[in-house]
Amino acid sequence: MAVTASSTLDAQKLRADFPIFEEKIHGKPLAYLDSAASAQKPRQVLDTIRTFYETSYANVHRGVYTLSERATAAYEGAREKAAAFVKAPSARELIFTRSATESINLVAYAWGLDNLGPGDVVLVTELEHHSNFVPWQYIAKRTGADFRMLPIDDNGELRLEGLDQLVDGGRVKIVATNYVSNSLGTINPIAKLSAWAHEHGALMVVVAALGAPHHTIDVQELDCDFLAYSSHKLCGPTGVGALWGRAELLEEMAPFNLGGHMIRQVRLENTTWGELPYKFEAGTQPIAEAVGFGAAIDYVSDVGLDAIAEYESELAAYALERLEELGGVTSYGPPPERRAGIVSFNVEGIHPHDVAQVLDAEGVAIRAGHHCCQPLMTRLGVAATNRASFYLYTVPDEIDRLVDGLRRVRKLLG
């Protein structure tokens, strides 16, 4: 099967926006197949950050002078974009954090510590990244709640039929899942899980770290209660992420970080909290990063999320087919029509780190390891996998170079 680049996305043309592709790695053109770990940055984002620092930078919200007002307008403009990107009903429900990881910790601490206790169940999935596993496991232990895991089938898809049995004898309070598995690329049935969670009186927490960059997200349609995502996986800078939450939940929650900016009034006896979203934004925020995040949202929105999803699915199908042709490669995860542009695999008899190292010498960047998914690796019966992941700038030629590189790996190490 050839990749018939969907008419609305021209990856070859988009690559010209990304200065990193002018770099040579060991004298060879870069084949960057690690976008699930972090995406590369287009000039449009880099220029926005630079221009912001050069013309509009000051701390936000504090000043009455022109520069501070400019910076505040840019920062709050980015919040509007980040909220609209996931169809949040209101920008005051969109909190800037430092990452998707921090967004999850915010919910786990600020909601979990006050609302979980013995007899309650916190449910995550076997596909979880550690960032949506460890905080819930920790808070469940601290509060005496039960921590349980929804298993996957042999395709790497959630076994929804096991849900009722899993919570037997417990009050499920939280269902927390990723939208897209960073390891297998599985696209999870969020709306179905939300419906089940709400039927059981639980809150639905969705981590869209790898959902938001690749799919149109609508928190109202998904009917979730919290949704975390981050900038660096959708062509924006590191150091900034987003948490969307229902206003009525956020309003009831205690703050997560304490300090400047997030207060209404401070007296020796007591402190009262500021309005949403500021109650959750203590200290100086990642201001220029948020502005860059907004530019990244503009960039991927201009390309089109539906076109990106369609293109990635084609790339995944092509990669799976080429790996299959190679033989001696085990690949993991669902069929391409139910996965994002992520392909995890192992080469028979060769450690993933050795594979990745030989590929690097060919200019091909892939990831090797447990991908922060040790419970999933246990289920797959491996310590690690190789992972190639794609984005809007990935071209089929990079996948061909991966396959050629794997032939070389075999020759050297097989």
Ligand X SMILES: Cc1ncc(COP(=O)(O)O)c(C=O)c1O
Among all residues, which ones are annotated catalytic? Answer: 372
- Partnered with residue 121 across adjacent β-strands are 146, 172
What's the token pair of residue 134?
Answer: 């460890």
Minimum CB distance to ligand X, residue 230 (Å):
3
Compute the distance between CA of residue 386 and CA of residue 353 in angstroms, rounded to an integer.
8
333 lines the binding site for ligand X (CB under 6 A): no
The residue count for binding ligand X (CB under 6 A) is 13
Min dist. Cβ of residue 233 to ligand X (A): 7
For the beta sheet containing 367-369, the strands, ordered from the edge strand earlier in sequence to the opposite edge, are: 329-332, 342-347, 385-389, 367-369
Query: What mask of x and - would describe binding to ligand X in positions 72 to 111, judged by CB under 6 A?
Result: ---------------------------xxx----------
User: By CB under 6 A, is residue 172 in contact with ligand X?
Assistant: no
Q: Are 399 and 317 in contact (CB under 8 A)?
A: no
Q: Is 292 in the site for ligand X (CB under 6 A)?
A: no
230 forms part of the interface with ligand X (CB under 6 A):
yes
Q: Which is nearer to ligand X, 99 or 194 (CB)?
A: 99
Return the SS3 of 300: helix
Nearer to ligand X, 48 or 178 (CB): 178
| d(C-alpha 11, C-alpha 14), whole Å | 5
Residue 56 near ligand X by CB under 6 A: no
Q: CA nearest 242: which of 361, 80, 43, 119?
A: 80
> Shortest approach of ligand X to residue 274 CB, angstroms?
25
Q: Is 236 exposed, middle or buried (0-12, 13-18, 19+ CB in 10 A)?
A: buried
Q: In angstroms, give the least distance from the CB of 314 to ligand X.
A: 21
Given the DSSP bridges, would you call strands 263-266 and 271-273 parallel, antiparallel or unpaired?
antiparallel
Shortest Å distance, C-beta 146 to ligand X: 23
Does 344 contact ligand X by CB under 6 A?
no
Q: Residue 178 interacts with ligand X (CB under 6 A)?
A: yes
Residue type, 9: L
Closest CB to ligand X among 56 and 125? Answer: 125
Select the residue interacting with ligand X from 56, 131, 344, 389 (CB under 6 A): 131
210 binds ligand X (CB under 6 A): yes
**Segment near ligand X (CB under 6 A); pick from 1-9, 86-94, 126-134, 262-270:** 126-134
Phi, psi (rounded to 5 degrees) for 412: -80, -40
Distance of CA 248 to the CA centre of its chain: 25
Which residues, other chains included, contact 195 with Cβ-Cβ below 8 Å and sequence gap of 6+? Answer: 223
Choice from 197, 207, 317, 368 touching ligand X (CB under 6 A): 207
Should residue 129 be labelled a site residue for ligand X when binding is judged by CB under 6 A?
A: yes
Question: Is the Cβ of residue 135 or residue 396 nearer to ligand X in the bound state?
Answer: 135
- Read off the DSSP letter of residue 67: H
Does residue number 182 form part of the binding site for ligand X (CB under 6 A)?
Answer: yes
Cβ atoms of 276 and 264 closer than 8 Å: no
Q: Which of 209, 222, 347, 364 binds ligand X (CB under 6 A)?
A: 209
Task: Compute the least distance from the CB of residue 279 to ligand X, in Å.
Answer: 21
In this structure, what token pair is assigned to residue 6?
């969907």
If we measure between CA atoms, which residue out of 281, 283, 287, 290 comes closest to residue 255? 281
Rg (CA), the chain: 22
Does the footprint of ligand X cover residue 187 (CB under 6 A)? no
Q: Which is nearer to ligand X, 56 or 178 (CB)?
A: 178
Residues lying near ligand X in the complex (CB under 6 A) are found at: 99-101, 129, 131-132, 178, 182, 207, 209-210, 230, 241
